[in-house]
Amino acid sequence: MAKKQKNSVISALCVAYGERVPKDAAHISLAFGKTRDEISVQDGIKRITLAIPEKKRGNMRALRILARKAVFVARREGVRTITISFREWTGRGITPVRAARMLAENMAMANYEFVALKTPPKEGWIFIDTLIVRGDVVSEAKKEFAKGLIIAKWVNRTRSLANTPGGLMTPAILAQHAIAYAKEVSVPMKVFGKKDLAQMGAGAILGVAQGSVEEPKLIVAEYRGGKKNEKPIVLVGKGVTFDTGGINLKPSDHILGMNMDMSGGAAVLCSLFCAAELGMERNVTAVVPAVENMPSGSSYRPGDVLRGMSGKTIEILNTDAEGRVILSDALTYAKKFNPSLVVDVATLTGAAHVALGAHASAIFTSDDTIAERALCIAEESGDYVWRLPLWEEYEEEIKGTFGDVTNTNNKNSRYGGASHAAAFLWQFVKDAGYPWLHIDIAPRTESAEGEFLAKGAAGAPVRMLMRLIEDNT
């Protein structure tokens, strides 16, 4: 039996192999062609049968949901050990290796709930301790089970960082978490404070942060698992630990949950640490600008013009469009690493959420090859994305009157906000000479109904980033 993972967020799913079904376990089976789930007891063993239409046999999307549902139902039934017949999850293009990683990732993600701040019930929290895999499992599939559990652990850590209330997750505290995780996987870390940022000329980060008593941070982690001279993939993540909107204060029904505005920063940090724990033969750098966006007498104002690290000036039309402002400095800083690819991840726009609903993040790039690659990797990972336009027309609509660029549409239009945000970021990478991908995870910040994931942060797009790192040849 495999050892339980240490340092798990809530509960670590342990995978074992064998035919024996313990008396206190529940056996999960799939019933293709049936329309109703069934729960029964046979020979003292609880059996949970999940219905799935025959036409969805071999459908990875459907199987992901079922894997999570299996854990959801078992936990509801008070079960701590579950068994599956591995062959039921394979076939029709689903190889044992693909099935193993999918099962490990999704079952472990469903085995998570943010209860750190809740009083435990008398009977304790019900989580699955052990998954027993029955049937023939080849060594490569076992390796993928182990890999999938590690990836899910870092997805769940991303979720916990994002779920933590803003009062307990300031820029300094986020940096402390990053330092602790970095020590765990032996990754070098640097954390730059206010004085460092002033010396760098990071006027965009400092401008957004100036309304808060919490000092801004620039968190940088470097994992070097590849060749010495190999150009790294640089992951840039928005780290707004709480976003009030600043002077353009958010309405009350939109401000709740803004502790999750650092989800992009959490995702890129945890992806790098995951790559390190897996020992991936890649060079990866994570850059996270961390700030609070607060209203006060010292806040930056609508109409202010900030000069960022790039030298470009940013005309502030709306203080609630702060994420792209701090990312402009982070993207400029990323150039120093001479990257092979830069990917930024941010809960950037409600417009992306309006366009795509709750089931896919928006991606933007000027590189068609990168876009197609991202779409394929996302589909395989389960962190689904869809491409939205990044055209010259949008660049015209962010040209400044008193600064070089505006941080929102200069026509005061409510439409196309996700593309305007991407066009803004594009100004800081377009002449860099390396490919760039922007992932707006606002649609996927929180889990959606019917996903069989706990309420709160979804942990996107860690699974996608892990496959992107693997594929970055």
Q: Is the pLDDT of residue 264 over 90?
A: yes
Share of the chain above pLDDT 70, in %: 97
pLDDT digits (tens, 9 = 90+) for 99-112: 999 999 999 999 99
Distances (CA, A) of 188 to 181, 206, 280, 415: 10, 25, 16, 42
Question: Which amino acid makes up residue 469?
Answer: I
Pick the closest to residue 404 from 336, 310, 319 (CA basis). 310
Q: Where in the chain is the domain with CATH 3.40.220.10?
A: 14-135
Known catalytic membership, residue 227? no
In Å, the largest CA–CA distance within the chain is 77
Q: Is the pLDDT of residue 8 over 70?
A: no
Q: Is the pLDDT of residue 177 over 90?
A: yes
Q: Where in the chain is the domain with CATH 3.40.630.10?
A: 156-471
Q: How confident is the model at residue 23 (pLDDT cuts 50, 70, 90)?
A: confident
Choose, from 64, 68, 282, 324, the residue flagged as catalytic: 324
C-alpha 156/C-alpha 116 separation (Å) is: 13
CATH class of the region 156-471: alpha beta
**pLDDT, average across residues 313-324:** 98
Output the CATH code of domain 14-135: 3.40.220.10
C-alpha 464/C-alpha 441 separation (Å) is: 12
Choose, from 4, 194, 231, 250, the residue flagged as catalytic: 250
- pLDDT for the residue numbered 7: 37
The neighbour count for residue 404, using CB atoms within 10 Å, is: 17
C-alpha 361/C-alpha 352 separation (Å) is: 8
- pLDDT for the residue numbered 21: 87
Distances (CA, A) of 35 to 29, 38, 51, 53, 161: 14, 10, 5, 7, 38
Q: Is the pLDDT of residue 5 over 50?
A: no
Known catalytic membership, residue 75? no
Of 90-94, 106-110, 131-135, 298-302, where does mean pLDDT reach its minimum?
90-94
- pLDDT for the residue numbered 10: 52
